[in-house]
Amino acid sequence: MFRPLLVPQPAAVVALLLLAGCGSVDIAPEPVIPRPIVTPIAATTAVVLNAEQRNYVHTETRAGVQWQVALGAGHRGLAEAIFSALFPGCVFVDEVEAARGIAGLDAVFEPRMLQYSFATANETGAGYFAVTINYRINVYGPDLKPVDSFTITGYGNSRDKAMSSSEPLEAATRAAMRDAAAKFLVQFPQQPLGQQLARGEPLVAPGITPVGVEMNRADAASQIEAVPVLDPNKASAPPPADSYPKVTQAP
């Protein structure tokens, strides 16, 4: 039955933009991370946030609509929240070499965004926006030589209830960032490298195989993980963004 469209629905706003062949969606999501409840690791660490990552912007055009997602500020805030909680007193530097000379340095972490992807409500076909963010966290020893590298994927989604497509996309992006943060905070202390740091042992050369957090291999950066899209005829839509893992860990 034909139903006249009197008031554009949220998903229809994107469709109208696509039909018009113009317009843009600009967001700068910054997740609000509650103070993580974790057991701090007594290690002297530095965290690298270079200019590229601090100013990271994802842009793409789909059917004439330009999407721009400024992720740099959110990435910086996320890194500051999780590493400061896990390693109190950690130092933030602009590049790996800048950590040289830090007294008693045990490790250097370099969190990097590898890939950002999203699907609109029209594309999921289930009334929600979905976001995937792939991260790689490189780890260096006190001599600044590579010791280990982890890849973590954060997922997020948001119901498309707003008249502006920017709102559900921003909410889904924040959820993906929180998801990645929760995984790292919960899983890293359980990894051999995390346990070494907790025991005050020097970091060893590559050869560690973490459990739960995937090791980054030579071809890992070239592998793009697809955004999870559910078929509304086969499965229900995913849970709301606020049901994703909280950034906490039982003491």
Supply the CATH number for residue 99's domain: 3.30.160.150
63 located within any domain = yes
- pLDDT mean across residues, the chain: 78
Q: Which amino acid is it at 221?
A: A
35 located within any domain = no
Q: Give 121-138 pLDDT, tens digit per residue.
A: 888 888 889 999 999 999
30 located within any domain = no
CA–CA gap between residue 158 and residue 132 (Å, rounded) = 12
pLDDT reported for residue 23 = 75
**Portion of the chain with pLDDT greater than 90, in percent:** 56
Domain that holds residue 104: 44-242
The pTM for the full model equals 0.74
150 located within any domain = yes
Say how many domains are in the chain: 1
Residue 225 has pLDDT above 90, yes or no: no
Contact in structure between 226 and 132 (CB atoms under 8 Å): yes
Q: How confident is the model at residue 210 (pLDDT cuts 50, 70, 90)?
A: very low
Contacts of 28 (CB under 8 A, 6+ apart): 69, 70, 71, 73, 74
DSSP state of 243: G
